[in-house]
Chains A and B, each alone.
Chain A
């Protein structure tokens, strides 16, 4: 599947559907290793795999090569989206530099951890740089991790990454750094190149109806909207079915494709509040902070609008390479978008990505949150597609 597409720098992708975790990892790495001098292996493993065996298999196939990675809510790659696989992206070649680090015990000190994860940028010197972050998707306040990295690096370094997932089990995601399986951690990878790297991000959701004021919010949860319990206001606005008011899983199913929108200067950002419903306290929470005092809208999207945003994000990202030929892409899409798209929809999303990729390889995963920053100081997103293109 992987192929050498550039004389000096290359990106390759491999995937294995084998049930044996070690064998699957070995097969995927061998396929991804598309050129000489591999600098980094990025491993996306289904939550159903034995993570220690995956890393052992990776080490067998490419001893000594730096490894980062995580568990997923589905693996994206050449050949379409998949569940239950080990999918690997490898980058290497002359003119490409990589340095990695892992920061543990993130909860309660997210901003510090983000700051520390950026320290690997000190060890690279090529002019075009991106800090890639993989985070534990079950850690709260992911914005602060990204903000910490921004404080360390400043405006000149784009950020890219995603929050590891566990197939909606919501009881433990895993991050990989060389031979180690980590939780409550952040992995940083400084990717530096002699040729441009480009980051892009976007969503396909739109606001519905009049805005609501977030009258009470705390600790990543929205407690009240328009001075009434947030859960009830949100469901009433959407004319939700009765079971969504009382059954947590019915609520999550209903809310996944219907994020809350937060107004920003350049548009409305989507915030997924489907995963942490409190039926007693009638509050909602999930993957991202919403500040008290702010205005918020209910948002909806459909397959057409999401596929259109795939086009927009890919076009924008590839344009940012400034005319240089791309060698491959990392594509991180939101786990919540799977709920809107369904199995057929994500297949068409994969086809859309494939159309933009052409013959070049691409890989990624369905995340619990996407990281992408070119401008401004924020870069944590929900319900988006985030793309890193290398040239």
Chain B
């Protein structure tokens, strides 16, 4: 009954040897399983940007006058700005007149039920693992699905409404809760903040709006899934999260895009306001298309994310797993204005092939006894460039501030670059600020040790990388952690060499 050992004759062994070579080849030749394009009737406005385009976007969205004025002011300010060039990035010249600033799947006016949503759209999100149909919806997670410029569907809104939680697309928020939007829009990230923030403020199309009322603990994860589908467009969404006193919310963001030879621009803004004793956890798994192995195509991910911990004892925690995008420029930050407020930043940034990332955080301590933790794990492979850039600043009146920063780099090739740019601006002598940094490689010894125990190299690399990134992965909500781990593994297959 002993089954014959499949490798007991020489022929099978050499077959197997060939097979494992194939596996290696397949793994190194890039696979991005979200690279498909959906055939959806899309309303795209002509390329280019000017005041008429902005008026057109505003009109298409049926916006109030004050919002149009906000957009126009942002646009006029943007015209005076130059693209930032201080990052450790080589950004090809972007022709802002060659981009279409609005693309929306054609639909009837705000679908009331899913029957009115294009089946092709549902299929697309299904394929991305985000089912929108009622019976298939992910339990324990409410999703706002954004395709190109508009929100397609927000799930579970009714359940949340019972608790007074508002979770809807930005456009709906403008219509239904104009006072809230007006009160908070641009208060954390002003359109004067930077070039991309100004551009976004002028042309932003949709995004998510979250309001958690006083004392409410949001019973499920809130999540926005961003999908770019149309060619020749950019995506400029805005997310605004307000956590009122004593509330809690965990928010997740995921993103993918088709594989295209052109570069597409994604310039988003996320603003978060955290009031007294409230807590917000914001997690991102960013998997925009990264371009091919020679660096052709891919998303430019130029994002401004900032939270204001306005309340005493408020807490904001950013966790990001960045594996996609051709170029990433992003520094999710915390303004720790409240006394005893807490900011956290946990990041894994993976770059390979010709990807470039300049990412990190700013912890701005204004409140007394405010604390922050920064854990950044860079993983670089191929010919990529991976930089951590972080600022810790302490205002003169902020007594008793503590910061701990840990900044690790893992190099998987001898042709990649890893850089660390920490900035400290400490104006109060009572501050305790620590910075630790390491650089390491996956050693031949580690790989051989795994091999000897029967673990193939590809899998061993996955294990070692997930081990390296564990501290950050542990911070992700369960639903996301498994997905993110798998993503890390897939992304780095065949990258060691």
- Determine if chain A interacts with chain B: no
Instruction: Mark A residues whose CB is within 8 Å of B.
Output: none
Instruction: Mark B residues whose CB is within 8 Å of A.
Output: none
